[in-house]
A = this chain, B = another copy of it.
């Protein structure tokens, strides 16, 4: 076989697999946006206004603009987060940490057509209540605990519904990623205001890990990790609600990795 006919063969072969012709796959982004409210972990959900899964809660997301106004994946995630919730960059979206979580593409995960979804994970400081975007019936911060990801169905705002599509799995993966990231990166500060106290930082760990932490040991540990936090020299205006001295304020340091890491106390179950 000559090189030319080889190439012709290759081109025919490639053309046969060009999905534009007859094998359409659509790409969406979905966002697991986490924040801390009232000391507990919340996730941003939208209520679907259309079938399938109409009326159920789902992660915010939508189609990636492919060719016309083509956008990169992180852009698409930020756009969906803004569009579907009414949160603007001005309203605090600028301080949100965004990272890719994973891609979910099992055939049948969307009953309408073949959709491959790139999931993003967002860590947000406390943000205002969202308003429903263009194709959502509602939007709200939902307490993660209330979604009962480990148990069977559960209740949240008056329903017993689970999340639409495979979003429960995506959320579970996002939570595990968040718990893990808190161990070896300083990303807990992404949940905090620009200046925060060590007890506030500890509250983030407690909310995300779902475990109590020893206040004294945590304090000393955080200060001993180089670059985790740096002092602003200020303190809070008042002590705690129920008494106690005023706490010193810190801002995020320049470390990108925590060394040594802050390991979760009880991981024995996950090891095997």
Contact = CB atoms under 8 A, between A and B. Distances in A.
B227 A72 contact: no
A160 interface: no
Contacts of A140: none
A18 B227 CA distance: 46
A94 interface: no
A25 B20 CA distance: 8
A186 to B, nearest CB: 10
A13 to B, nearest CB: 6
A2 to B, nearest CB: 13
Given A7-B50, A10-B135, A73 B103 contact: yes
Interface stretch (A147-155, A189-197, A205-213, A254-262): A254-262
A39 interface: no
Identical chains in the assembly: 2
B7 A227 contact: no
A62 B17 CA distance: 9
B135 A13 contact: yes
A98 to B, nearest CB: 14
Interface string A231-272: 000000000000000000000001111010000000100111
B271 A67 contact: no
Nearest to A11: B50
Given A23-B65, A25-B25, A70 B114 contact: yes
**4 residue pairs, one from A and one from B, having the closest CB atoms:** A25-B66, A70-B107, A73-B105, A23-B66
Interface of A: 6-7, 10-11, 13-14, 17-20, 22-27, 49-50, 62-68, 70-73, 100, 102-103, 105-107, 113-114, 116, 118, 134-135, 226-227, 254-257, 259, 267, 270-272
29 contacts: A6-B49, A7-B49, A7-B50, A10-B135, A13-B134, A17-B62, A17-B63, A19-B27, A19-B63, A20-B26, A23-B65, A23-B66, A25-B64, A25-B66, A25-B67, A66-B114, A72-B105, A73-B106, A100-B102, A100-B103, A102-B103, A103-B103, A116-B116, A227-B271, A227-B272, A255-B272, A256-B271, A256-B272, A257-B271
